[in-house]
A = this chain, B = another copy of it.
Amino acid sequence: MELFPQNKIIVGMVGLPGTGKTFIAKKVARYMEWLGNKTEVFNICHYRRDMFGENEFTAEFFDPEIAENAKKNNECAEKAFKDMVKFLEQGGDVAVFDGVNETIEKRREIRRSLDVAFKNFTLIWVESVCNDEHTVEDNIRIQVSNPDYKDMDVNAITADYKNRIENYRKKYQELSKENDGENASFIKLFDFGSQVLVNNVSGYIGSKIISLLMHIHNKPRPIYFSRHGESLNNTEDKVGGDPDLSERGYAYSKLLNQFVQEEMKQRKITKNTKIYSSTLRRTIITAGAIDVGIRPVPLKILNELYCGSFEGMSYGEIEEKYPNEANDRKTDKLRYRYPGGESYLDVIQRLEPIIFAIEKSRDPVIIVAHQAIIRCLYAYFCKHELEEIPHLSVPLHTVIKLVPDVYHANEYRYNLERRNRQSFYQKRSF
């Protein structure tokens, strides 16, 4: 919650090419959206491609000493800025301005323009600093798929990208109190690691961004979601409670074990994989059947959406006895809170620590939990809007496997009760 919720928040990226700015910008935007803020990224590179075509942006284009090119770059930045202002004016909450923003003067100019556009706003700069050669080289490798380079070979790309970095370095001025003033709000992230320097960042959004930046990295690793095997309450359409599994549920737990064993044979799952369940019996039993020498950790925050005084009742019973409650829930399933229980929005708030734990893990993660819980987590990684969350399809006896890379989430679904298990693949762009 912000002190002034009507405030517009602008997150301005700063950093040389190859420092992972776009990745960070997308992560910040995704997290802000998941927390309920209308958010968009304005990426100057995309404007460059739109305005000046594709496949002509070798290092020369970014040489500040070539006046014509500097002018073109400024035009892109101006267009992106204008669209950003429009987005915020039309009801946007948070905008991420993704560019190099390499000089004190450029950053001052952005602040001045924001001063003109908005009465109240908060501008937070986020700089990615990479002193470690390996991190930069990792990031350059990602550029192989950069549309600026669509017809070039890998070595040429690497060489050119290094030149692009050097061209920006000529005029680069890092964020600091001395450069940007004592009151500038900024966060410097060092070597994509877990160290950040924070200057004058206050408010809820600011502290959320700091927390997020302490956890992210760009190493792809699979994330597996499974609901518990069918429970005795599932068979009776009852909500909540702490029931045992049905026979079919126990059979699923064995299928899940087989599935994980196979993933391990294929080295998708390593010995360092983390397995989390809730503290309810149905997930502890299901996760407990996974026999790969990793002890599942039960976490209370993964427990199912709590139905308060309706726990243990069937949907039919609720509808009959409390038609108003049933109707409220139907009208707005995202915000509906069971009497004495939780809403989907409550659940999203409490899931923050597990989101951060998954983000931070460099090893695979297996989550055995419940329908509402997996809907919320899945929505975060697959970029679904809040309103969609209560309606996302997360069926029983199906493993959802996500392999997030820098700009995509690759999603696989395996219905373990079918012979042909893999039933679904989708690459989701962010």
Interface residues of A (CB under 8 A from B): 1-5, 177, 182, 193-204, 207, 210-211, 214-215, 299-301, 337, 339-340, 350, 352-354, 356-357, 360
> Are B202's CB and A195's CB within 8 A?
no
Given A301-B3, A337-B340, A353-B1, residue A202 in contact with residue B215 (CB < 8 A): yes
With both beta carbons as reference points, the residue of chain B lying nearest to A199 in the complex is identified as: B195
Give CA–CA (A356, B353) in the complex, Å: 22
With both beta carbons as reference points, the residue of chain B lying nearest to A1 in the complex is identified as: B350
Residue from the list B197, B357, B360 in contact with A197, Cβ < 8 A = B197
Residues of chain B within 8 A of A350, CB atoms compared: 1
Given A3-B353, A354-B3, residue A195 in contact with residue B211 (CB < 8 A): no
Give CA–CA (A1, B301) in the complex, Å: 8
- The distance from the CB of A259 to the nearest CB of chain B, in whole angstroms, is 25
Interface centre among A207, A340, A352 (most CB of B within 10 A): A207
Residues of chain B within 8 A of A196, CB atoms compared: 197-198
With both beta carbons as reference points, the residue of chain B lying nearest to A186 in the complex is identified as: B195
> Are A200's CB and B177's CB within 8 A?
no
Given A1-B301, A3-B354, A352-B1, residue A197 in contact with residue B200 (CB < 8 A): no
- The distance from the CB of A388 to the nearest CB of chain B, in whole angstroms, is 24
Given A177-B195, A197-B195, A197-B197, residue A3 in contact with residue B357 (CB < 8 A): yes
With both beta carbons as reference points, the residue of chain B lying nearest to A198 in the complex is identified as: B196
Given A3-B299, A207-B207, A337-B340, residue A214 in contact with residue B197 (CB < 8 A): no
- The distance from the CB of A202 to the nearest CB of chain B, in whole angstroms, is 6
Given A207-B207, A353-B1, residue A201 in contact with residue B177 (CB < 8 A): no
> Are B195's CB and A214's CB within 8 A?
no
- The distance from the CB of A313 to the nearest CB of chain B, in whole angstroms, is 17
> Are B339's CB and A203's CB within 8 A?
no
Residues of chain B within 8 A of A203, CB atoms compared: 353, 356
With both beta carbons as reference points, the residue of chain B lying nearest to A300 in the complex is identified as: B5
> Are B1's CB and A202's CB within 8 A?
no
With both beta carbons as reference points, the residue of chain B lying nearest to A201 in the complex is identified as: B214
Give CA–CA (A337, B342) in the complex, Å: 12
Residues of chain B within 8 A of A299, CB atoms compared: 3-4
> Are A195's CB and B200's CB within 8 A?
yes
- The distance from the CB of A321 to the nearest CB of chain B, in whole angstroms, is 16
Given A1-B301, A300-B5, A353-B3, residue A199 in contact with residue B207 (CB < 8 A): no
With both beta carbons as reference points, the residue of chain B lying nearest to A276 in the complex is identified as: B3
> What are 13 of the A-B contact pairs (CB < 8 Å)?
A2-B353, A182-B194, A194-B199, A195-B197, A195-B199, A195-B200, A196-B198, A201-B214, A202-B214, A203-B356, A210-B210, A210-B211, A337-B340
Residues of chain B within 8 A of A177, CB atoms compared: 195
Give CA–CA (A200, B199) in the complex, Å: 17
Give CA–CA (A76, B194) in the complex, Å: 34
> Are A200's CB and B194's CB within 8 A?
yes
Give CA–CA (A184, B269) in the complex, Å: 28
Give CA–CA (A207, B195) in the complex, Å: 13
Give CA–CA (A199, B210) in the complex, Å: 11
Residues of chain B within 8 A of A340, CB atoms compared: 337
Give CA–CA (A337, B354) in the complex, Å: 26
